A and B are shown apart, each in its own frame.
Chain A
Amino acid sequence: MRVTKGARLTAGAALLALALAACGNSASSGGGTASGDLPVRMELGEPQKLFHPGDTTESEGAEVLAAVFAPLVGYDENKQAVDEVAESIESKDNRVWTVSLKPGYTWHDGAKLTAQNYVDAWNYAANQDNAQSANGFFSRIDGWADLNPGEGKTVSTKEMKGLKVVDESTFRVTLSKPFSQFKTMLGYTAFYPLPKVAFGADGRITEEYARKPIGQGYFQFDKPFNKGTDQSIDLTRYDRFPGKKPKFTKLQFKLYTSSETAFNDLAAGNLDIHDSLPPSAIARAKSEFGERYLDQADAGVAYIGFPMQYNKTYANVKVREAISMAIDRETIADKVFSGTRAPADDFINPLLDGYRAGACAVCVYDPLKAGEQYTANNGPKTLELGYNSDGPHKEWIEAVANSLRANLGVEVKVKPFEKFAGILDELDEKTYGGMFRMGWAIDYPSAENYLTPLFSTIAIKTGSNYAGWSNQEFDALLAKGDSARTQEEGLKFYQQADDILIREMPYIPVYFYRTNGAFSQNVKGVKIDLLNQIKWTEVEKAG
């Protein structure tokens, strides 16, 4: 092939055009913010799915929805549920709850918020045909079983009989059994309402809605979110919001795949708030941000779990206690996590009512006693410890293994799994019989949330009771707590249930999480609430 000058010129021009097109494209896909009204820029990980309350059970999506929706209840300084959108939430017997709404709330498209919106949303989320991940949160409502007849069976109704609209701003919720913590539960993402426009002709939530959810909160979406392409979610204040509004008008969530990168962006002044600093950034954040570095308690707990249901190796509680006492929690919290964790001493997190400092006596590091007790009770000569390698777990699991080797004189095999689901699969199939790491973040701030989903007998099937541990006395105390007349009375029973956990040690609590963040000089008043969300009403632009 001979090439003439003309052909070469076109080839060159085509290449140049390609390069220019590439540049042009990148410039136009930018966030595009007006210079006059700079947004407050908040760090966010990639949301797992598009947005609708019933299917958003992960933290990143929930963070966005919390800015766009207003919850029925919020939580005050004393960790108590206080009415927000709700005017009142009342019950005489903890079984039939009447919820009435404050007047004045509207959807971002101008429509009025009604009681029917709540009933629609909850019925939708509770229906197994819609495969919503928050489905289980509605299981306490009377009629939930009708919407969840089981695998392969058809759902004959679209409504739970326990949900009734009384009038435009009131609805009644009947539970199948009394539950004293019901009001506290209502602050969770799953309990947000949905407007009529969310549903398509087929009765399902439309993709259009899930890309640009219309809420009734203080921020609204500027434009539909293109998942996988967009690197920011831009929100503007909704000025018809009747409650307390944020003091700034624009909020931008910037999506990052690496929290280290986000921290560098914060340091360079391209980001305002980062609330999940990696341990590697802590030292730098402390020295560079000073007053603007955040370090506060978080409601999460990390455990080492035992496969109680079928592996008899761990059946002796004295052996489990010895393992617990052999773990040097202080060192793990201070050295492995650079102080971003706190040693655990109860099954209930210190952030919540019901926590008792030092409740778990065998959570205190006592290598001598641990060794003696382990030998005296013929503890197994080899132990196995599993963890998922897709999270920041390797270092602390290795540290636990080292503690056990040194203090119990045993062989410890550390087994990495690709992800947590792999551990669960092998536990289900009984092909893995070792100890495993486990973590828990709360869905709603109640001591009960550390107990029922993790250790109750029914949670073996539907919840997160991966140990398969079952104790009738424990279940009975939970039931008493659920049906108690007041929160305080309920708490007493929950604490008694907690005592059983401490006595039996189906899991070993290892550390409590902490939240570590930092913010730029552009903002002030950054506070993080119980559910790990920024209180946008407190944040102000500085200067």
Chain B
Amino acid sequence: MSRYILRRLIQAIPVLLGATLLIYAIVFALPGDPIAALAGEKRMDPDIVDVLREQYHLNDPFLVQYWHYIVGLLGGDFGTTFAGVGVGDIMAGKFQVTINLAVTALVMEAVIGVGLGLYAALRHGGAGDSLILAATLVLISVPVLVTGFVLQLLLGVRLKQAGIDLFPVAGVSEGWRGYLLPGFVLAGTSIAYLTRLTRNSLVEIMRTDYIRTAVAKGLPRSRVVGRHALRNALIPLITYLGADLGALMGGAVITETIFNLPGIGQQLFSSVYLREQPVVVGIVTVLVLIYILANLVVDLLYAVLDPRIRYE
């Protein structure tokens, strides 16, 4: 077991190195000069540009630049942005916001998605089931941009104007409440998928022989559903949640922008725009690491849920 984990972690090292090289090369290959991008719409004095290029090793060939970066990275230095701020500091702050948001969304997905799916499966074919199916269809087909702005206007602005202060419009300065609305918007489509996934796999499992046996043995319904059916239904759900974590962390640009949360998605977007290689590579490396760890955890959870799976 521990040898299995160790092997998986060692395998992660070349993946991480490869990812940094690849991302570094991609940002390097993007057209446009990062120093010029820094100047906005005014042209910078060529002498100043030269000093800055020198300072950030921009005149060196690609591999030399990459070497500078990796050497710094091994010493724990993520580099600095063109605005002179440490990439490590930026990432620490942004990841905190993103993790809060992603965890909020993930918990919502798991609780609401699995809950609704369970309800729909047990009322299979009933009015509640149909309603949930229709609702999830709507949730899947409306883009995040729309749900985000509509919910912000209705629950953030109008409700507050009516005197009920439940959901802040924007920002981390409002504490955990500030994550509720964006968390829900971000989780929206996943909630819908999870509901349908839970429902379908439960409906299927409830028809299997071993469930019929369990019912025939006279086990209480709660035990049949909770211990025998749901446990098996969880395997595809956990696979989905594990993969979704990465998407929640790196792909929340729109939600972060609408709700003014300074997270990783936004940072990645603006850094790609400004050609800030150190930031892009740093963030992507950490995201890759999170993906790898999440996959490992998912694999280990398989063994927990299904005793037939063993890792030696």
The residues of A that contact B256 with a CB separation of less than 8 Å are 257
Q: Which of A15-23, A96-104, A237-245 participates in binding chain B? A: A15-23
* Interface status of A542 (Cβ within 8 A of chain B): no
* Interface status of B227 (Cβ within 8 A of chain A): no
Q: Which of A337-345, A356-364, A460-468 participates in binding chain B? A: A460-468
B172 A29 Cβ-Cβ under 8 A: yes
Q: A425 touches which one: B32, B45, B55, B173 (CB < 8 A)?
A: B32
Give 7 new A-B contacts, CB below 8 A, not counting A25-B96, A135-B48, A268-B160: A1-B1, A30-B174, A31-B173, A210-B84, A227-B83, A264-B153, A461-B46
A420 B41 Cβ-Cβ under 8 A: yes
The residues of B that contact A27 with a CB separation of less than 8 Å are 175-176
* A111-144 vs B, Cβ < 8 Å mask (1 yes, 0 no): 0000000000000000011011101100000000
Question: Given contacts A228-B89, A422-B31, A464-B43, are A18 and B103 in contact (CB under 8 A)?
Answer: yes
Q: A227 touches which one: B90, B149, B170 (CB < 8 A)?
A: B90
A258 B257 Cβ-Cβ under 8 A: yes
Question: Given contacts A26-B176, A261-B152, A422-B31, are A48 and B303 in contact (CB under 8 A)?
Answer: no
The residues of B that contact A30 with a CB separation of less than 8 Å are 172-175
* Interface status of B224 (Cβ within 8 A of chain A): no
- Alpha-carbon distance A387/B50, docked complex (angstroms): 27
Q: A229 touches which one: B90, B156, B171, B303 (CB < 8 A)?
A: B90
* B77-89 vs A, Cβ < 8 Å mask (1 yes, 0 no): 0000001110001
Q: B178 touches which one: A2, A26, A207, A466 (CB < 8 A)?
A: A26
Q: How far is the CB of A432 from chain B (nearest CB, A)?
A: 13
Q: How far is the CB of A159 from chain B (nearest CB, A)?
A: 18
B307 A2 Cβ-Cβ under 8 A: yes
A228 B94 Cβ-Cβ under 8 A: yes
The residues of A that contact B189 with a CB separation of less than 8 Å are none
The residues of A that contact B267 with a CB separation of less than 8 Å are 228
The residues of B that contact A268 with a CB separation of less than 8 Å are 156-157, 160-161, 168-169
The residues of A that contact B156 with a CB separation of less than 8 Å are 264, 268
B32 A422 Cβ-Cβ under 8 A: yes
Interface range, A side: 35 or more
Q: Which of A146-154, A173-181, A190-198, A491-499 participates in binding chain B? A: A146-154
The residues of A that contact B50 with a CB separation of less than 8 Å are 151-152
* Interface status of A269 (Cβ within 8 A of chain B): yes
- Alpha-carbon distance A164/B260, docked complex (angstroms): 48
B37 A270 Cβ-Cβ under 8 A: no
Quick one: closest A residue to B36, CB to CB?
Answer: A421
* Interface status of A372 (Cβ within 8 A of chain B): no
A229 B89 Cβ-Cβ under 8 A: yes
* Interface status of A58 (Cβ within 8 A of chain B): yes
CB contacts between A and B, total, < 8 Å: 180
The residues of B that contact A449 with a CB separation of less than 8 Å are none
8 residue pairs of the A-B complex, CB under 8 angstroms, read A8-B304, A18-B103, A22-B100, A29-B173, A231-B171, A262-B260, A267-B161, A425-B33
A261 B257 Cβ-Cβ under 8 A: yes
The residues of B that contact A19 with a CB separation of less than 8 Å are 103, 107
* Interface status of B112 (Cβ within 8 A of chain A): no
The residues of B that contact A352 with a CB separation of less than 8 Å are none
- Alpha-carbon distance A8/B231, docked complex (angstroms): 14
* B22-63 vs A, Cβ < 8 Å mask (1 yes, 0 no): 000000000111001111111111111011100100000000
The residues of A that contact B179 with a CB separation of less than 8 Å are 26
The residues of B that contact A424 with a CB separation of less than 8 Å are 36, 43
- Alpha-carbon distance A58/B80, docked complex (angstroms): 20
A464 B170 Cβ-Cβ under 8 A: no
Q: How far is the CB of A35 from chain B (nearest CB, A)?
A: 14
The A-contacting residues of B in range 142-178, CB under 8 angstroms, are 149, 152-153, 156-157, 160-161, 168-176, 178
B83 A419 Cβ-Cβ under 8 A: no
* Interface status of A201 (Cβ within 8 A of chain B): no
The residues of B that contact A135 with a CB separation of less than 8 Å are 45, 48
B157 A267 Cβ-Cβ under 8 A: yes
* Interface status of A76 (Cβ within 8 A of chain B): no
The B-contacting residues of A in range 35-57, CB under 8 angstroms, are 46, 48-50, 57
The residues of B that contact A270 with a CB separation of less than 8 Å are 168-171
The residues of A that contact B39 with a CB separation of less than 8 Å are 133, 421
B83 A421 Cβ-Cβ under 8 A: no
* Interface status of B99 (Cβ within 8 A of chain A): yes
Interface size on B, residues (CB 8 A): 69
Closest 5 CB pairs of A and B: A229-B93, A228-B90, A31-B173, A421-B36, A27-B175
B152 A49 Cβ-Cβ under 8 A: no
* A356-394 vs B, Cβ < 8 Å mask (1 yes, 0 no): 000000000000000000000000000000001010000
Q: How far is the CB of B205 from chain A (nearest CB, A)?
A: 21
* Interface status of B310 (Cβ within 8 A of chain A): yes
B273 A25 Cβ-Cβ under 8 A: no
* Interface status of A226 (Cβ within 8 A of chain B): yes
* Interface status of A199 (Cβ within 8 A of chain B): no
B103 A22 Cβ-Cβ under 8 A: yes
Question: Given contacts A131-B52, A151-B46, A419-B37, are A257 and B173 in contact (CB under 8 A)?
Answer: no
Q: How far is the CB of B119 from chain A (nearest CB, A)?
A: 23
Q: How far is the CB of A393 from chain B (nearest CB, A)?
A: 11
A226 B84 Cβ-Cβ under 8 A: no
* Interface status of B104 (Cβ within 8 A of chain A): yes
The residues of A that contact B32 with a CB separation of less than 8 Å are 418-419, 421-422, 425
* Interface status of A9 (Cβ within 8 A of chain B): no
Q: How far is the CB of A508 from chain B (nearest CB, A)?
A: 17
- Alpha-carbon distance A207/B55, docked complex (angstroms): 16
Q: How far is the CB of A153 from chain B (nearest CB, A)?
A: 9
A463 B170 Cβ-Cβ under 8 A: no
The residues of A that contact B93 with a CB separation of less than 8 Å are 226, 228-229
A261 B173 Cβ-Cβ under 8 A: no
The residues of A that contact B307 with a CB separation of less than 8 Å are 2
Q: B51 touches which one: A1, A129, A256, A388 (CB < 8 A)?
A: A129
The residues of B that contact A262 with a CB separation of less than 8 Å are 170, 260
* Interface status of A439 (Cβ within 8 A of chain B): yes
B51 A131 Cβ-Cβ under 8 A: yes
Q: How far is the CB of B140 from chain A (nearest CB, A)?
A: 25
Q: Which of B51, B104, B174 has the most CB of A within 10 A?
A: B51
A25 B37 Cβ-Cβ under 8 A: no
* Interface status of B211 (Cβ within 8 A of chain A): no
Q: Which of B32, B43, B178 has the most CB of A within 10 A?
A: B43
Q: How far is the CB of A224 from chain B (nearest CB, A)?
A: 12
- Alpha-carbon distance A50/B38, docked complex (angstroms): 13
The B-contacting residues of A in range 429-469, CB under 8 angstroms, are 438-439, 461-464, 466
Q: Which of A1, A25, A466 has the most CB of B within 10 A?
A: A1
- Alpha-carbon distance A125/B273, docked complex (angstroms): 27
- Alpha-carbon distance A114/B184, docked complex (angstroms): 56
The residues of B that contact A255 with a CB separation of less than 8 Å are 260, 262
* Interface status of A250 (Cβ within 8 A of chain B): no
* Interface status of A407 (Cβ within 8 A of chain B): no
A256 B55 Cβ-Cβ under 8 A: no
Question: Given contacts A26-B179, A231-B262, are A1 and B170 in contact (CB under 8 A)?
Answer: no
- Alpha-carbon distance A439/B40, docked complex (angstroms): 11
* Interface status of A516 (Cβ within 8 A of chain B): no
Q: B37 touches which one: A31, A152, A421 (CB < 8 A)?
A: A421
Q: How far is the CB of A22 from chain B (nearest CB, A)?
A: 5
B41 A439 Cβ-Cβ under 8 A: yes
The residues of A that contact B40 with a CB separation of less than 8 Å are 48, 58, 420
